[in-house]
Structure 1
Amino acid sequence: MSWAPLPRGRFTGIDWSAPGAIDGMDPYLAWAEADGFVGYHRPGHHDQPKWLPIVIGLREGADVRELVDASSSRWLQIPQAYLLIPGLRHCTARVSRRFFEHWRQGHVVRSLIERFELGLPVDQHTVALKDCCHRHQQPLPPPQRVPGPVLGLIDGGLAVANAAFRDAAGRTRVKHFWRQDNLYGGPWPGSPDHERVPLDPTRAGPTPPDLGYGHALTGHAIDSAIASFTRRGQLDEDALYRYLQLWDLARPVNHGTHVCGLATAPGGLLAPGLNDFASRCPVIAVQLDWANVLDTSGGALNVGVLDALHYIVAHAADDAEIVVNVSWGTLAGPHDGTSLLEAAMDELIERLDGRLQIALPAGNAYQSRTHANATLAPREALELHWRVQPDDRTQSFLEIWLPANAAGVAITVQPPERPAQAVTLRPGESGMWVDARGVPQWTLIYPTTTALGAHGTCALLALEPTFSREPGRALAPFGAWQVRLHNQGRTPVTFDAYVERDDVVLGTNTGARQSYLEDRRYDTQGNLGGWIDHADNPTPIRRSGVFNSLATGQRTLSAGGTRATDSGPERLSRFARYSPQKPSPDPQRPQRPGVKPAPDTLAPSDSNTALWGMRSTGSLSGSTVRLAGTSSSAPQVARRLLNALG
């Protein structure tokens, strides 16, 4: 094996090892090109993308209209929904190789774009949009727009025909439903024979022209389907969902249905007598592409969530008040609200002048040892131990975030039990270890600035899986990776290191195994006081700062999890153990500027100490299920916001 420079990208044409090439760019894009996008391939498939999905942030003074008029839809395609709101600086796009040719040649679009970030380059996201913006074109708003107040839901697995989401006359309250996938199936349980099945637009609905992919159903179409499968007053929900090609709803529990129930279901088993405004309000729902749950890059959600928000806004009336719940998230990122998706959400809220509110969960990783934080004095060094597990069939990522004054910080990475392979890099440097075939096993990319955030920089340590059933797949070593940060400068530097989420999401079997940080001083005994940080404990592994990286924006609302019934006088008894707390138990810890330390608000996510989770709507009408996590807190906050409007 040998240490090698990053290659020239086959798609972008960017020589990633050239001086300055990685600065200001998305390191995940550089890594994806280095390993040939293998992290996004389904087993046994090695198709290369024809188009790449990205999120774009424009420079101050530029807007999406100007970008569309300065480019061509032959190489940059932006969904029409982004022209419905004047002055936007953030959008999603599909870009071809020619976009990067123009980018390298200094085309005018480069002067308009401040930064861009890779989305999820799989399946339909790697082909052209069916409809997109064109020069000097002004799209019309979609028909059948919904008056407010309205609930917007962005999630997965929504049982649109469930009685909990129908009105007293039996009509669905889901007025628009957009599923972002064009195909169903894949290497996860519940897929029909694990084959990719193209969705039938006569059953799943047509492609919405304002977004250009996926399939959408109106409330009228859902009601017609319900009527077709109702016999003697009884709806055959299983048959209906098979017809609509929503096969995942055969499972008794689906995350989106559970979340939607907490946000808008009426009384009954959940809360007898409950008949609030939220239980009667209309719903605009978006089901994220199921490929999102398979992605391990940490960038799966940016395009899908932003497109979903614009779909909801476009299908609500001009004066409608909208409350959107997004019970999803990741762990890595800047955590200061400057990621592209967070900046885009903040901008959308501002542009709509208070008509839009967005609730997000604070995260469930408080005890997962995925965050380290410390201040390095001049000439001081600190070593982190990153435990990467065996039999992990997905890639693993560690992000090290440093402020703008960190030019003197060197980072040394040593794979488990391989001191001869230790590598030290300084800002602006990058490289990768390759096997005898030249196939990369892991990389360290350390730019001076990054597209992932607006402040400081992010060094990315990316690893291939530690196990694979694919012959010839490059593998990274498992065990304790040593990551040493050495402040060779003259001023103190505060850093944060975040291990990206890599667990198995409900209803999937991806082979993911969550990596974590180790330190002998970190309390893992499970004593009553051992579930929070203590200022006198010198370990760099900190619970404080573990946060959903989608929920640190300035204008969105993050929800932490509590227990509906406290079990004692101690403050600890109030909080779900997996949730960030408000206020932070360790407020004096060093922080980079702007990092969000605590949730904005709280709502129950556990019933009590012994009974974790909250009961809500199951897939079939009348059924209930229990799920734990701050994903249950956020929709209760959304419900409060809706009731305040109604």
Structure 2
Amino acid sequence: MAEELPRCFDPYLRYAIASEFKNFDFFDEQESKLFLFVELKHAGLADNFVRAMSPSDFGAEFGLTSPNSRYLTMRAYIRAVEKDSFRAWDDNVSRVELSLPLKPTAIQKGAQRNRSASEQPPTPLLIGVIDDGCPFAAAQFVKRIAGVASGTRVRGVWDQNEHAGRVPIPVGADVFGEKPFDFNYGLEFLRDSISGVVGLNDWIQLHKRANTIDEDGCYARGGFKTLKHQASHGAHVMDVLAGRIPLSARIARRDPPSWQPGDPLTDPACEADIVFVQFPESCLRDATGVWLKGYVADAVDYIMSFVDSGTTNVVINVSYGPTTGPHNGTSELEGKLRELVTHYDGVSVSPKLDVFLPAGNNYLSDGHIHFVRQTMAEPVHVEWTWRLPPDNTVLCFAEVWMKKNCTDNVIVTLTSPGGRSSSSTAGPAPPGPPP
């Protein structure tokens, strides 16, 4: 079957199809939807592709689309990658990558909101954080107007988790959280209350005790599971990027740190508005980062939906990255981000957008192997020992990259500790499940 699939299907999608999705959590052919990150052959094909994917049994939903963009995200039933859809893929798509399947919940989409509208004056700098754990009620993220505290600087939190337990929370006749109107998964929490939906500021007030905020209760009742721990990655990153105390006041050179709040004139980040996107637990459990791409693409579009006429700069930090892929700027996600920062250059189109990405630190775990030949002759044999702990519960993948003119007659063999092996010739079709 693999040879018949459209050429645009990436190896992980091919693997999933070949293995009938049996290794994917909560995958159910009748309910689960594939989450796909799509690169079109050229800008302007989005409408054609959406129409081609319109049969109701495909169940296709799309993230934000633009006639000027080659990239879009898509959620659809498995039937959308079966034979009846192949013509649509071949005609319109250059590459498509699989993110984790989604199991739709019964929550209805929220009403369409103008996220750029705010009860409080927005800041010229907007900081986006795509991470794990947003302490929106913490003191270092309090918004101050004329020196007076007036709620949180967090304009919105989008929790991308999609499971039955993550539903809007009743608050009297209202609810806390709703499904985004433009991304039909997860829950979003906006700063301001509107139309029966409690905002972050009012939620914080519900947990005020005398002159203090019960942060633990605020996060626990809101279902923000990561924040039940004493520390979270997202909290650290938010504090470094946008906390009230700048790094220069925390680091002792000759004298002790001053711990003085930043000056908005020289440190605009200390008062900037923040938009936070919470990665799904299923993504964070996958150390390869293979599945993050669609979620990151949607997250960046979500953050940009908060831009208004007064926004001059947007800085987005993506805290997690894949240990797979070429890492040379040619991946689909890198293409999407390059397209955005080229468009939002701050000159022809405002605001100016900057995106910061991690670069393969992976806790110094030697996650990448680079084989360099020592002579002009091609190597005839290369060995690599791949160690997997016996209690590992997640899928593990290894990628072998080489120049096209070196791939003739290459055979990749996986040998288990017991001596059983599985081999595959080089090409787009991955080997079947190994012993």
TM-score (norm 1): 0.56
The counterpart of 2:372, out of the listed 356, 371, 374, is 374
1:73-128 per-residue CA deviation (whole Å, 9 max, x = no partner) reads: 73363445334xx5111010012244234665524x5312111110111444xx79
CA contact (8 A) 1:165 1:173 kept: yes
Give the distance between the partners of 1:303 and 1:163, measured in 2 at CA: 33
Give the distance between the partners of 1:247 and 1:399, measured in 2 at CA: 33
CA contact (8 A) 2:64 2:72 kept: no
Aligned residue identity for 2:344: L
User: 1:640 maps to what in 2?
Assistant: none
CA separation of 1:306/1:414 partners in 2, compared to 1, >3 Å: closer, same or farther? Answer: closer
Give the distance between the partners of 1:325 and 1:105, measured in 2 at CA: 36
Give the distance between the partners of 1:422 and 1:79, measured in 2 at CA: 38
Give the distance between the partners of 1:142 and 1:53, measured in 2 at CA: 25
Give the distance between the partners of 1:365 and 1:297, measured in 2 at CA: 10
CA separation of 1:430/1:288 partners in 2, compared to 1, >3 Å: closer, same or farther? Answer: closer
User: 1:401 maps to what in 2?
Assistant: 401
The counterpart of 1:310, out of the listed 301, 305, 319, is 301
The counterpart of 1:226, out of the listed 204, 219, 229, is 204
The answer as to 2:166 corresponding to 1:198 is yes
RMSD over aligned CA atoms reads 3.0
User: 1:413 maps to what in 2?
Assistant: 413
User: 1:253 maps to what in 2?
Assistant: 231
User: 1:60 maps to what in 2?
Assistant: 42
The counterpart of 1:81, out of the listed 61, 64, 67, is 64
Give the distance between the partners of 2:54 and 2:107, measured in 1 at CA: 13
CA contact (8 A) 1:52 1:96 kept: yes
1:507-561 per-residue CA deviation (whole Å, 9 max, x = no partner) reads: xxxxxxxxxxxxxxxxxxxxxxxxxxxxxxxxxxxxxxxxxxxxxxxxxxxxxxx
Give the distance between the partners of 1:199 and 1:131, measured in 2 at CA: 12
Percent identity at matched positions? 25
Aligned pairs (5 A) from 1:514-533: none
Q: CA deviation at 1:336?
A: 1.2
Q: Name the SS for the 2:152 alignment partner.
A: coil
User: 1:295 maps to what in 2?
Assistant: 286
Give the distance between the partners of 1:246 and 1:372, measured in 2 at CA: 40
Structure 1 gap segments, 5+ residues each: 1-14, 133-138, 184-195, 433-439, 443-475, 477-646
User: 1:360 maps to what in 2?
Assistant: 357
CA contact (8 A) 1:22 1:428 kept: no
CA separation of 1:78/1:350 partners in 2, compared to 1, >3 Å: closer, same or farther? Answer: farther
User: 2:277 maps to what in 1?
Assistant: 286
User: 1:242 maps to what in 2?
Assistant: 220
CA separation of 1:362/1:129 partners in 2, compared to 1, >3 Å: closer, same or farther? Answer: farther
CA separation of 1:397/1:385 partners in 2, compared to 1, >3 Å: closer, same or farther? Answer: same
CA separation of 1:91/1:24 partners in 2, compared to 1, >3 Å: closer, same or farther? Answer: closer
CA contact (8 A) 1:322 1:357 kept: yes
1:456-496 per-residue CA deviation (whole Å, 9 max, x = no partner) reads: xxxxxxxxxxxxxxxxxxxx5xxxxxxxxxxxxxxxxxxxx
CA separation of 1:46/1:99 partners in 2, compared to 1, >3 Å: closer, same or farther? Answer: closer
The answer as to 2:92 corresponding to 1:120 is no
CA separation of 1:293/1:342 partners in 2, compared to 1, >3 Å: closer, same or farther? Answer: same
Aligned pairs (5 A) from 1:90-105: 90-101=71-82, 104-105=85-86
CA separation of 1:430/1:70 partners in 2, compared to 1, >3 Å: closer, same or farther? Answer: closer
CA contact (8 A) 2:116 2:307 kept: no
Q: CA deviation at 1:410?
A: 0.8
CA separation of 1:417/1:262 partners in 2, compared to 1, >3 Å: closer, same or farther? Answer: closer
Aligned residue identity for 1:243: R
1:313-357 per-residue CA deviation (whole Å, 9 max, x = no partner) reads: 012215622100111112111111111111111111122234210
CA contact (8 A) 1:152 1:312 kept: yes
CA contact (8 A) 1:152 1:323 kept: yes
Q: CA deviation at 1:363?
A: 2.9
Give the distance between the partners of 2:107 and 2:97, measured in 1 at CA: 18
Q: Name the SS for the 1:197 alignment partner.
A: coil
CA separation of 1:330/1:319 partners in 2, compared to 1, >3 Å: closer, same or farther? Answer: same
Compare the two structures and name the one with the higher helix fraction: 2
Give the distance between the partners of 2:431 and 2:377, measured in 1 at CA: 26
Q: Name the SS for the 1:315 alignment partner.
A: coil
Aligned residue identity for 2:236: H
Q: CA deviation at 1:407?
A: 3.6
Give the distance between the partners of 2:220 and 2:74, measured in 1 at CA: 32
Give the distance between the partners of 2:273 and 2:357, measured in 1 at CA: 20
How many residue pairs align between the two structures?
A: 393
CA separation of 1:148/1:76 partners in 2, compared to 1, >3 Å: closer, same or farther? Answer: farther
Give the distance between the partners of 2:20 and 2:44, measured in 1 at CA: 33
User: 2:319 maps to what in 1?
Assistant: 327
1:293-331 per-residue CA deviation (whole Å, 9 max, x = no partner) reads: 123564221111111100000122156221001111121
Q: Could you tell which deviates more after superposition, 390-399 or 323-332?
A: 390-399
Aligned residue identity for 1:216: E
Give the distance between the partners of 1:118 and 1:176, measured in 2 at CA: 27
Aligned residue identity for 1:213: Y
Structure 2 gap segments, 5+ residues each: 193-198, 251-257, 347-351
Give the distance between the partners of 2:336 and 2:23, measured in 1 at CA: 26
CA separation of 1:111/1:103 partners in 2, compared to 1, >3 Å: closer, same or farther? Answer: farther
1:53-91 per-residue CA deviation (whole Å, 9 max, x = no partner) reads: 1000001243434433444273363445334xx511101
Give the distance between the partners of 2:73 and 2:183, measured in 1 at CA: 10
Q: CA deviation at 1:426?
A: 3.7
Aligned pairs (5 A) from 1:338-487: 338-354=330-346, 355-365=352-362, 367-370=364-367, 371-375=369-373, 377-378=376-377, 380-391=379-390, 392-416=392-416, 421=421, 423=423, 425-427=425-427, 430-432=430-432, 440=433, 442=434, 476=435
User: 1:482 maps to what in 2?
Assistant: none
CA contact (8 A) 1:208 1:215 kept: yes
The answer as to 2:179 corresponding to 1:207 is yes
Give the distance between the partners of 1:232 and 1:218, measured in 2 at CA: 25
Give the distance between the partners of 1:201 and 1:77, measured in 2 at CA: 28
CA separation of 1:57/1:412 partners in 2, compared to 1, >3 Å: closer, same or farther? Answer: closer
Q: Name the SS for the 2:97 alignment partner.
A: strand
Q: Name the SS for the 1:302 alignment partner.
A: helix
Give the distance between the partners of 1:52 and 1:72, measured in 2 at CA: 16
User: 1:177 maps to what in 2?
Assistant: 157
CA contact (8 A) 1:77 1:129 kept: no
Q: CA deviation at 1:35?
A: 2.8
Q: Name the SS for the 1:408 alignment partner.
A: coil
CA contact (8 A) 1:26 1:117 kept: yes
Q: CA deviation at 1:425?
A: 1.6
CA separation of 1:148/1:210 partners in 2, compared to 1, >3 Å: closer, same or farther? Answer: farther
Aligned pairs (5 A) from 1:566-645: none
CA contact (8 A) 1:120 1:295 kept: no
Q: Could you tell which deviates more after superposition, 144-153 or 351-360?
A: 144-153
